[in-house]
Each structure stands twice: as C-alpha cells, then as structure tokens.
Amino acid sequence: MQYPEPVAKLIDSYMHLPGIGEKTATRLAFFTVDMDADVVKNFSQALLDTKDKLTFCSICGNLTEHDPCAICSDPTRDQSQVVVVEQAKDVMTMEKMKDYHGLYHVLHGVMSPIEGRGPEELNISSLIQRLQKNEAIKEVIIATNATPEGDATAMYLARLLKPAGLRVTRLARGLSVGSDIEYADEMTLYKAVEGRTEM
C-alpha cells in the first residue's frame, strides 16, 4: 500500500536529515500528521525563518541575524585572541563556557580529501585577510575537533599562520580523541583552553 502523496513527501523530507532512515522518517511523518495545526504552522515557520532570517557574519563566518554578529560587534571582547572552530555550533558551545572573551572564526568544515574538500572550500582566505587587517590579534587558538581531518586542518593552519609571527596554539587534549566540541561539557572545554599548546 502506498502512502498518500503528502505523507510520502513528508517522509522523504525527513529522510534528508542526518541520521534519519526510512523507519524513523515514517514515524516522524505520522507524528506530524497527529500534531495540532498551530504547532505544525509554528514548526514550519521556524524552518523558514532559519533560511530567511539567518546569514553568516562577514567578519567571522558565524551564524547571525545581523551582520556583523554580536560577538564581532562587541568592543569589550578581547581583540588579541581568535578561536578558529569548524562550525557555527562550536561557537555556541564555546560561549557556554563563559570563560573565553576573545573573538572567533568559523571555517565551515575541515579539509577532507575523501570528500574532495580542500583549503579552498573552507573559510580560510577571509581569516588571512582578517589577520592582515587587524594587528591587535596576537594569538590564533585552533579548536578543530580531535579527528584526523581536524588535526590535518589544524596543521595546515599552523604552517600557514606561524610565519606571520602570530602565536598559534591548539586546544589541549582535554577533549577526547574522536569527540566533537559540540558534546563537551563546560569544564572539559575550560581545561582544554587553559592547557592549549604551541604549534
């Protein structure tokens, strides 16, 4: 028996989400069918708003409603340090720590030869331009994940940035190998920042 077309389309839409297979997508689709109409409208509006109202900060690459973002616009932030992260969600995770008051730069991924993603596909050229324009920046803290791709990206950035006379550090291995910053607790992140090492 085939599902009605709206349900089939909804199942297909849910299957575009990471980690969602056909069974889970079907369960979510029928859960959505049973939801109150106002809840569904709010849900769909939230989805549309994420595409219509969000942009990337022209300075750091973070997700924002206003360009430049609140962090780049804040004159009280420590202008001498920039933490380089893989994704915008990593900025939110770092901010939960409440002990880092510097700036950020979002790469929007890491180098991955298997996926055909090299340095040209990452937000690296704007980092170089930013460092050239802002002489107040003295240290770049590389906070890519402790994965082979994250490590390769960190080494590439270190080789690129060290000749400019900047202090280039990497988060300490308080983060377990293979883990994502997104899932680390605040104390682990704090210790990782405190114990960062020269590259």
Same domain, 29 and 84: no
CB 27 within 8 A of CB 42: no
Q: What is the CATH number of the domain that holds 42?
A: 1.10.8.420
Judgement on whether residues 94 and 180 belong to the same structural domain of the protein: yes
Residue 125: CB atoms within 10 Å: 10
* Measured distance CA(177)–CA(187) in Å, rounded: 17
Angle at 82 between CA 80 and CA 87, to 5 degrees: 165
Same domain, 62 and 35: no
Q: pLDDT tens digits, the chain, 199 residues: what are they? A: 689 999 999 999 999 999 999 999 999 999 999 999 999 999 999 999 999 999 999 999 999 999 999 999 999 999 999 999 999 999 999 999 889 999 999 999 999 989 999 999 999 999 999 999 999 999 999 999 988 999 999 999 999 999 989 999 998 776 676 778 888 888 778 877 877 777 7
Question: How many domains would you assign to the chain?
Answer: 2
Q: Which domain holds residue 63?
A: 56-198
CATH code, domain with 119? 3.40.1360.10
